[in-house]
Amino acid sequence: MANRTVVIRVAGGAHARPVAELVRLAMAHDGAVELTTSTGRRVDLGSVLAVMDLALLAGDEVELSADGTDPEAVLDALERVLAG
């Protein structure tokens, strides 16, 4: 499993639009994709409600994890979404 720590830079934090894009990318990937907060809460990025429940804000640090085929590519795409 590949991991990457990312600071959320998208204006307004992880609101509906970026969360929908994160979930779309995770669902299109052939392996597991997870997000872990700095407090240790871990969610499957395939669930809009689970990610929205985290109420992530700009400046929050999260860890993205992915396995399957080419996990670095999906982590790159997820990072771009969170960068704004």
Based on the structure, what is the number of domains in the chain? Answer: 1
In this structure, the strands spanning 33-37 and 2-7 are unpaired
From the list 10, 19, 3, 6, the residue with the least C-alpha distance to 83 is 10
- Residue 68 belongs to domain spanning: 2-83
Global pTM? 0.95
Average pLDDT over residues 48-72: 97
Q: Given pLDDT bands bounded at 50, 70 and 90, which one contains residue 68?
A: very high
Instruction: Supply the pLDDT for residue 7.
Output: 98
**Contact criterion met (CB below 8 Å) for 5 and 61:** yes
What pLDDT, on a 0 to 100 scale, did the predictor assign at position 46? 95
Cα Rg for the chain, rounded, in angstroms? 11
What CATH code is carried by the domain that includes residue 21? 3.30.1340.10
Query: What are the phi and psi torsion angles at 9 (to 5°)?
Result: -120, -10
* pLDDT for the residue 77: 98
